[in-house]
């Protein structure tokens, strides 16, 4: 069976089809069974409101202390208010981003047997293809297929990535390298905005993890009763997302409502993750987000999740703890998150960050 799709990369629209496997997400059923309908509290809206998302222009970040200071303040406000912002003038070319998107579309367009070579339900595997948020459990209401692979050090992992399409490793590898540089720069800006200095976590982040989550959301006949991904926050310090078309929604915790992230040509989206929430002692909150679907086109998102090393514990900065602001979180690692993921269903509302909170 195949999915038809239309993809948007730059100003070009192309058409092709995905050969699919037998998983619920890939079957392209003409309806969503009642047993798989989302609870009303998380029902997607066919006409979602547009989120009021901060846009940070990074052009001034590299040009003098005065302009840099203004950018740092913009980042601080965005992290504190929403845990999310879009960035422009970030230094990654449109051609490089389009190359990453085209390689993702190319992979998901491969014949099923080729993709199934990488199929695994083991969340600890460094390269794997899958079809549900809790691997091994078929859940039709979350319609997503994905490819996840480690990306740093690139030379250690790239040869384990898909060999097809033939251009995947080169195009995705080029993007991974550049987005990692950007992520390290942003992490320095964020720790500086916390008053910790730009080099606070640089050594650990330089030696840390970069995991790429390449997500594919096929067209859905009933997008009002299904989701691509249920509400969740990322485990990472920060996540940088590149998407082929809109479909990412974020929760405005102050207003208590969902809003779709508006399309901004050439922009990337930055998520505050759970480990950054821990580091900041709750000053910055991990953004709760979800992926919605549409009935017309396949959507691709490429998330670069950056954290400390697999077993390196992230704890709260001691500089942000005092009698008035006691420590609010336990320390944890990426490995701890993987163990949590293998034992829990995020689709049921279980959140990793809740396991780290200290009840004072």
Residue ranges of the chain with per-residue pLDDT less than 50: 1-20, 22-41, 133-140
Q: How far is CA 310 from CA 72, 131, 235, in A?
A: 29, 24, 12
pLDDT of res. 60: 87
β-strand 268-272 against 84-88: which pairing, if any? antiparallel
Q: Whole-prediction pTM value?
A: 0.88
* Side-chain-facing half-sphere of 10: CA atoms under 13 Å: 11
* Side-chain-facing half-sphere of 152: CA atoms under 13 Å: 25
DSSP per residue, 274-321: HHHHHHTTTSSPPPPEEE---SS--EEEEEEEEES-TTPPB---GGG-
Task: Report phi then psi at 107, rounded to 5.
Answer: -65, -50
pLDDT of res. 45: 65
Residues in the chain: 360
SS (H, E, C) 200-251: CCHHHHHCCEEEEEEEEECCCCCCCCCECEEEECCCCCEEEEEECCCCEEEE
Q: Compute the Cα dihedral for 245, 249, 252, 255 and give only its sign.
A: positive
pLDDT of res. 316: 98
Strand partners, 4: 17
Q: 282, 286, 284: which is closest to 274 by C-alpha?
A: 286
Helix pair angle (168-193, 65-81), 10° resolution: 90
Q: 190, 223, 226: which is closest to 320 by C-alpha?
A: 190
> Strand order in 229-232's β-sheet?
229-232, 289-291, 248-252, 257-260
pLDDT of res. 42: 56
pLDDT of res. 30: 37
Measured in whole angstroms, the distance separating CA 85 from the mean position of its chain's CA atoms is 13
Tokens of 355: 């396991």
pLDDT of res. 226: 84
DSSP per residue, 72-88: HHHHHHHHHHTSEEEEE
* Side-chain-facing half-sphere of 332: CA atoms under 13 Å: 26
What is the rounded distance in angstroms from the CA atom of residue 190 to the CA atom of residue 74? 10
CA torsion angle 20 24 28 213 (round to 10)? -60
Identify the three-state secondary structure at position 175: helix
């Amino acid at each position: 069976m195949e999915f038809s799709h239309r993809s948007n990369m730059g100003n070009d629209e192309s058409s092709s089809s995905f050969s699919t496997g037998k998983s619920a997400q890939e079957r392209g059923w003409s309806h969503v069974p009642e047993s798989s309908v989302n609870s009303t509290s998380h029902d997607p809206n066919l006409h979602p409101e547009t989120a009021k998302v901060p846009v940070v222009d990074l052009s001034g970040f590299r040009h003098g202390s005065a302009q840099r200071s203004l950018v740092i303040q913009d980042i601080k406000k965005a992290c504190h208010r929403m845990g999310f912002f879009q960035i422009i003038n970030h230094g990654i070319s449109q051609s490089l981003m389009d190359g990453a998107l085209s390689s993702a579309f190319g992979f998901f367009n491969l014949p099923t047997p080729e993709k199934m070579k990488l199929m695994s339900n083991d969340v600890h595997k460094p390269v794997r293809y899958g079809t549900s948020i809790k691997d091994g459990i078929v859940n039709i209401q979350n319609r997503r297929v994905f490819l996840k692979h480690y990306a740093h050090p690139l030379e250690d992992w790239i040869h384990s990535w898909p060999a097809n399409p033939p251009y995947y490793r080169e195009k995705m590898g080029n993007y991974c390298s550049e987005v990692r540089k950007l992520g390290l720069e942003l992490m320095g800006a964020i720790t500086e905005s916390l008053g910790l200095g730009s080099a606070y976590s640089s050594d650990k982040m330089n030696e840390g993890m970069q995991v790429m989550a390449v997500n594919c959301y096929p067209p859905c006949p009933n997008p009002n009763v299904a989701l691509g991904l249920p509400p969740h926050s990322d485990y990472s310090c920060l996540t940088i997302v590149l998407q082929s078309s809109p479909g990412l929604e974020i929760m405005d915790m102050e207003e208590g409502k969902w809003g779709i992230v508006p399309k901004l040509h050439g922009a990337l989206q930055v998520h505050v993750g759970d480990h950054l929430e821990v580091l900041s002692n709750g000053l910055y909150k991990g953004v709760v987000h979800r992926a919605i679907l549409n009935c017309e086109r396949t959507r691709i998102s490429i998330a670069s999740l950056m954290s400390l090393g697999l077993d390196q514990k992230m704890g709260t900065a001691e500089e942000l703890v005092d009698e008035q602001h006691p420590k609010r979180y336990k320390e944890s690692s990426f490995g701890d998150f993987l163990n949590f993921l293998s034992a829990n269903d995020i689709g049921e509302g279980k959140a990793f960050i809740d396991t780290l909170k200290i009840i004072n």
